[in-house]
Amino acid sequence: MNLSKRTELRRIPDRGSHDWATINQILDAGFLAHVGFCLDSQPFVIPTLYGRDGERLYLHGSAASRMLRELETGIPACVTVTLVDGLVLSRSAFDHSMNYRSVVAFRRARKIADPEQKINSLRVISELKATTVLEFPIEEASSKVRSGLPLDDERDYRLSLWAGILPLETKSRQPIPDDK
């Protein structure tokens, strides 16, 4: 993996990592990415589903998607995945935080046109002609993880206020069948 100023961990760098195992663990735990790109000097950030295979992400969506049409031209892009694990509630609102895991990756995407490769990248797809698949080889990436209890200022520990973590999780619930 290449490293540059783009993936330099500046704020609280001890929470960050360029370790593939950490990056892959976070990417595998998620399914929703936010893809950033610029078009005519206007930045856009679009949520999209993704899948990971090795050091590649696969972004897919409608063949009519402006984001995918623009990315397939080879413009630079940034893919961000964030998982929120809990709200960290301190005694002072200023010190509230959240426990999270995130990955920021950079590269240029490329369109997958070969139907067999497209099928392999999606594993199951209903309409090949209606879906665009882009491969996003991860050139540079970094991850960050914040975990643990609140970090209150010493004077705030004297306050008789509750502090701690409100754990959050994303989980599947009972499927709801379509009555049609």
Per-residue pLDDT at 125: 33
Residue 46 DSSP symbol:
E
Q: What are phi and psi of 12, to 5 degrees?
A: 50, 60
CATH code, 5-148: 2.30.110.10
What's the pTM?
0.78
Measured CA to CA, the distance from residue 79 to residue 102 in angstroms comes to: 11
- At 156 the three-state DSSP class reads helix
User: What average pLDDT does this structure show over 110-126?
Assistant: 70
Instruction: Using pLDDT thresholds of 50, 70 and 90, give the confidence band for residue 137.
Output: confident
Average pLDDT, the chain: 86
Per-residue pLDDT at 126: 39
Q: What are the sequence ranges of the domains in the chain?
A: 5-148
User: What average pLDDT does this structure show over 4-9?
Assistant: 77
The DSSP bridge pattern shows strands 56-62 and 42-53 to be: antiparallel
Let me know: does 112 contact 133? Beta carbons within 8 Å: yes
